Amino acid sequence: MRQAAAVNADAGKVAVVDVNAMAWEATEWQGIRRKVLEFVSDPRKGRETSILEFAPGAALPVTTLAERLDLFVLEGQLGDEHGSYGPHTFVRNPHGTRHTLRSDKGAVVYMKWRVPIRPQAPGNRIVIDAATAQWMAFPHRGSEVLHLYPNADGIETGRIGHVHVNRKIPSHDHSIGEETLVLKGRLTDEYQSYGPGTWFRMPCGVPHAPFTGDDRCMMLIREGDMVW
């Protein structure tokens, strides 16, 4: 995680970012550009959420992670010493992991660095390919769900939700906060409409009643890692 100015750093405020409308920023790494959605510099609760674009042949330097890194391949193919990851593959690397991320043919990747919530327990490495994994029916929400990582301590959960057309989800809040990246389709609530490429973060306790229209909506959803 880099050192930079704060971006959407107040977890008590709703944050909405249209990634498509953002300009790419150059990075210190040749062939790699970024769009920063969120950046908090703090020794205990620091985090960065960015979209990185790898040109064909681009690579990050060899890194031993001081933070936990979650990544989700949006387009293209990403790889490292541990494997190769195609579109809609989720990877969690705990702090202490040593790797060299690269893309031979190019890729666009959602990446989140997070200061470890439990430094004494780094956890396991996770790799889930949404194209081949077993999804679960979630009928009372009118969707299918792919769970990405366990909620063993009651704090964190992550999933991909694929909501059916013309479904309204009952009004609810998220007592541990929620952030969402819309992958396909459109979701609307009483505040605004979120199309493909929209990232939004709902603070703890803010209610909303989202619904879909004539298109299904696929979303990458995270709850609970805003431990402040």
Owner of token pair 């977890």? 11
Q: How far apart are CA 148 and CA 50, in angstroms?
A: 19
Question: What pLDDT does 169 receive?
Answer: 85
Torsion angles phi and psi, residue 76, rounded to 5 = 80, -155
Rounded distance between C-alpha atoms, residue 226 and residue 228, angstroms: 6
CATH number of 136-223: 2.60.120.10
pLDDT at 21: 97
> What is the enclosing helix (H) or strand (E) of 184?
strand 178-184
Give the residue with greater pLDDT, 179 vs 140. Answer: 179
Would you tell me which CATH number, out of the four given (3.90.950.10, 2.60.120.10, 3.30.70.270, 2.40.50.250), belongs to the domain 21-127? Answer: 2.60.120.10
CB 47 within 8 A of CB 40: yes
Q: What is the residue type of 154?
A: G
Q: What whole-number distance in Å separates Cα of residue 83 and Cα of residue 162?
A: 26
Whole-angstrom distance, CA of residue 202 vs CA of residue 78: 29
Q: Per-residue pLDDT tens for 85-124?
A: 999 999 999 999 999 999 999 999 999 998 877 767 778 8
Give the pLDDT of residue 101. Answer: 97
Considering the entire predicted model, what is its pTM?
0.93
| pLDDT at residue 185, rounded to an integer | 97
In sequence order, the β-bridge partners of residue 102 are 59, 79
Tokens at residue 77, please? 């193919």
Query: Given this chain, do its domains 21-127 and 136-223 carry the same CATH topology?
Result: yes
Q: What does each C-alpha distance from 4 to 19, 29, 88, 100, 161 come to in angstroms? A: 19, 16, 28, 22, 32
pLDDT for 228 beyond 60: no
pLDDT digits (tens, 9 = 90+) for 152-202: 666 788 999 999 999 998 888 777 788 999 999 999 988 899 999 999 998
- Model confidence at 69: pLDDT above 70: yes
Residue 182 DSSP one-character state: E
What's residue 151's pLDDT? 64
Find out whether 165 and 216 touch, Cβ atoms under 8 Å: yes
Residue 192 C-beta-side C-alpha neighbours within 13 Å: 12
- Lowest mean pLDDT segment, chosen from 16-30, 53-67, 128-142: 128-142
